């Protein structure tokens, strides 16, 4: 397996030298990228490829006949005995003695040895491969692009043994399939593009809390925000029959049968495309979106999620294997379900405490009690009963959260179809939130259809429904209350049918706009302290669930607003 070959989700027979370098830098980073197959570009990685463009533009081979001088670029070699494969940026030689030259984008560090250990190890691994291929090689050169400086690295006994030890350690960790622990308060994490996947500070905090019996005292405020507060790319929504989505260059265009082109967006600025009710999309647009990893989601006119068009799914088979293993274990499934439902009930209580002008003490006490009971429920059946009791209490007070001058009211939760405007908006928002969680779980590597609380059923995204429970009050219900209390919706936005109430196309756009405003809003994470958007929090929660499944943390920490 070469450094540029396809899947990196398994242990190669020959370890790429770059993989070894990353292992020397951070074993966890190496595992996430090469074993789990997760990678996110950063400014540094993009710039690194740019600095290598001249070296990578041509691939040479070494003449095997007698020669006096060697000058080969982008050379691939393998060493089966040492267990390394490498791409040498530049190979210089005189007779049988050769010197590998490795290009680095940054400046030469002013440290003993002239270069950091990962760079010296990568170069030494290239030297080992060259020796196995019958060349004399006792040193290498690292060329620092910004400094325009060549640093000579001798392949002495100490560096050679260190390189061989790292090769052995990497293979052992990869074969065990155990992710190395995160670094502790390391400055290496600050510019790491995979910090949002690795979650080093979050995992360390949760493990410290578990060691203290779940206490948060003295721990909050210690977390660095290593992940972006929000996504630069945003969802695109196309609502209504008669619309067509087309691609023109790097632009996605939305056309209306009656009004011509109504909207456009740059493909690199799109995170997902949502099509509601009879919207057409061209084949070139679908293919380009799939190649970019941008999902296309299809909904009925009423907002029911029908399916998704996406490229290759996440290649982290290990996570899905763990998910299936946990789902088949009733005890472990229940532990996740209890945490999720307890978190949902806590957020329902917070919603009432914050927005109910009367704040009935009995209601708050009941929800607090039910949340504690949910956390310790002994069976799924009991948990269902607890959740039902909490829903009855919560929805019994929901009308009090609507302003008295509002022309709309809420009596009870009803659906399929909803009987009143408030329930119609809630149902629509719950469907949108389920879609959001589906996409997030798919991106992290989960199978959205296999849950721990909602049991598997054909066509039902059970895990997405599990994970959205704690966010129903803080996202969907809050958006509904805001739309009605700010009078952004009127009776003209609803259609009375023979069996229930539905939203007009204009109303759906208002609801989506309110939802996106909420998802893009930044909030201080109640446990980790940093400020991120709700959409980013969904991803953090999904990744924390994966850390639970792999045994890195013991309990799933539900998101609870304070």
Q: What pLDDT was estimated at residue 212?
A: 78
Does domain 317-520 match CATH 1.20.58.100?
no
Mean pLDDT of 111-130: 94
**Size (the chain), residues:** 562
Q: What pLDDT was estimated at residue 1?
A: 35
* Run of H or E residues at 319: helix 317-327
Mean pLDDT of 162-178: 91
Quote the CA–CA distance of 271 and 267 in Å, as a whole number. Answer: 9
The helix/strand count (H/E) of the chain reads as 18, 18
Quote the CA–CA distance of 138 and 127 in Å, as a whole number. Answer: 7
**Higher local confidence (pLDDT), 227 or 543:** 543
Quote the CA–CA distance of 468 and 437 in Å, as a whole number. Answer: 6
Closest CA to 120 of 200, 17, 209: 17
Query: What tokens appear for 68 in the block?
Result: 């006096």
**Beta strands 270-276 and 296-299, pairing class:** parallel
Closest CA to 450 of 458, 441, 440, 461: 461
Quote the CA–CA distance of 372 and 335 in Å, as a whole number. Answer: 13
pLDDT band per the 50, 70, 90 thresholds, residue 11 = low
- For the chain, give the mean pLDDT: 86
Q: What pLDDT was estimated at residue 70?
A: 57
Query: What tokens appear for 266 in the block?
Result: 């740059």
> 301-339 burial, b for 16+ CB within 10 Å, e for fewer?
bebebeebbbeeebbbebbbebbeebbeeeeebbbbbbb
Tell whether the model's pLDDT for residue 43 goes beyond 60: no
Q: Are 16 and 1 in contact (CB under 8 A)?
A: yes
Q: Could you report the per-residue pLDDT of 469-528, keeping only the tens digit for each?
A: 999 999 999 999 999 999 998 889 888 877 888 888 899 999 999 999 999 999 988 889
| Maximum average pLDDT range among 98-107, 120-129, 296-305 | 120-129
Neighbours of 528 (CB within 10 A): 23
Architecture of domain 234-309: Ribosomal Protein L15; Chain: K; domain 2 (3.100)
Tell whether the model's pLDDT for residue 8 goes beyond 60: no
End-to-end CA distance of the chain: 50
Q: What pLDDT was estimated at residue 365?
A: 94
Closest CA to 450 of 330, 556, 320: 320
Architecture of domain 15-176: Alpha-Beta Complex (3.90)
Q: What pLDDT was estimated at residue 128?
A: 95
**Higher local confidence (pLDDT), 62 or 101:** 101
In the chain, ranges of CATH 3.90.320.10 domains: 15-176
In the chain, ranges of CATH 1.20.120.920 domains: 317-520
Q: What pLDDT was estimated at residue 215?
A: 59
* Run of H or E residues at 384: helix 380-398
In the chain, ranges of CATH 3.100.10.20 domains: 234-309
Least confident of 6-20, 35-49, 198-212, 322-336: 35-49
3-state secondary structure of 68: coil
Tell whether the model's pLDDT for residue 176 goes beyond 50: yes
pTM: 0.84
Tell whether the model's pLDDT for residue 554 goes beyond 50: yes
Write the burial class of residue 177 (CB in 10 Å: 0-12 exposed, 13-18 middle, 19+ buried). middle
Q: Could you report the per-residue pLDDT of 275-287, keeping only the tens digit for each?
A: 988 899 999 999 9
């Amino acid at each position: 397996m070469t450094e540029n070959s396809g899947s990196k989700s398994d242990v190669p027979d020959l370890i790429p030298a770059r993989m070894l370098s990353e292992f020397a830098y951070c074993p966890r980073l190496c595992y996430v990228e090469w074993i789990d197959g997760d990678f996110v570009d950063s400014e540094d990685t993009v710039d690194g490829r740019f600095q290598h463009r001249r070296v990578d533009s041509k691939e040479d081979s070494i003449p095997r006949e007698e020669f006096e001088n060697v000058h080969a670029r982008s050379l691939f070699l393998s060493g089966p005995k040492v267990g390394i494969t490498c791409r040498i940026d530049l190979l210089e030689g005189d007779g049988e003695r050769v010197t590998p030259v490795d290009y680095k984008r940054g400046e030469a560090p002013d440290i003993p040895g002239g270069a950091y250990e990962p760079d010296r190890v990568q170069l030494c691994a290239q030297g080992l491969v060259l020796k196995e291929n019958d060349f004399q090689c006792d040193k290498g050169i690292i060329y620092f692009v910004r400094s325009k400086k060549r640093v000579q690295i001798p392949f002495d006994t100490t560096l050679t043994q260190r390189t061989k030890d790292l090769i052995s350690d990497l293979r052992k960790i990869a074969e065990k399939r155990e992710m190395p622990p995160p670094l502790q308060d390391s400055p290496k994490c600050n510019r790491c593009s995979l910090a949002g996947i690795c979650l080093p500070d979050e995992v360390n905090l949760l493990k410290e809390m578990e060691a203290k019996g779940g206490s948060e005292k003295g721990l909050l405020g210690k977390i660095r925000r290593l992940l972006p507060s929000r996504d630069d790319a945003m969802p695109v929504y196309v609502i209504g029959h008669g619309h067509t989505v087309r691609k023109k260059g790097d632009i996605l265009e939305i056309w209306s049968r009656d009004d011509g082109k109504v909207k456009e967006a740059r493909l690199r600025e799109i995170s997902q495309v949502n099509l509601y009710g009879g919207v057409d999309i061209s084949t070139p647009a679908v293919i380009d979106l799939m190649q970019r990893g941008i999902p296309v989601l299809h909904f009925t006119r009423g907002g029911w999620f029908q399916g998704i068009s996406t490229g290759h799914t996440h290649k982290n088979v290990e996570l899905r294997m763990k998910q299936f293993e946990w789902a088949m274990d009733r005890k472990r499934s229940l532990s996740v379900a209890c945490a999720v439902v307890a978190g949902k009930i806590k957020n329902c209580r917070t919603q009432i405490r914050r927005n109910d002008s009367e704040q009935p003490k009995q209601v708050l006490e009941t929800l607090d009690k039910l949340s504690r009971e949910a956390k310790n429920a002994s069976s799924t059946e009991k948990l269902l009963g607890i959740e039902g009791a909490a829903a009855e209490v919560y929805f019994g007070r929901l009308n009090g959260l609507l302003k008295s001058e509002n022309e709309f009211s809420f009596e009870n939760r009803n659906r399929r179809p909803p009987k009143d405007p408030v329930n119609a908006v809630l149902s629509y928002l719950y469907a949108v939130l389920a879609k959001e969680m589906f996409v997030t779980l798919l991106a992290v590597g989960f199978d959205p259809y296999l849950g721990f609380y909602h049991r598997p059923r054909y066509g039902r995204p059970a895990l997405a429904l599990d994970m959205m429970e704690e966010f129903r009050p803080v996202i969907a219900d809050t958006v509904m209350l805001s739309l009605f209390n700010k009078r952004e919706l009127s009776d003209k936005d609803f259609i009375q049918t023979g069996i229930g109430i539905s939203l007009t196309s204009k109303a759906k756009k208002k609801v989506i706009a309110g939802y996106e405003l909420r998802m893009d809003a930044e909030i201080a994470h109640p446990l980790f302290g940093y400020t991120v958007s709700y959409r980013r929090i969904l991803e953090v929660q999904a990744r924390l669930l994966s850390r639970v499944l792999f045994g890195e943390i013991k309990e799933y920490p539900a998101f609870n607003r304070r």
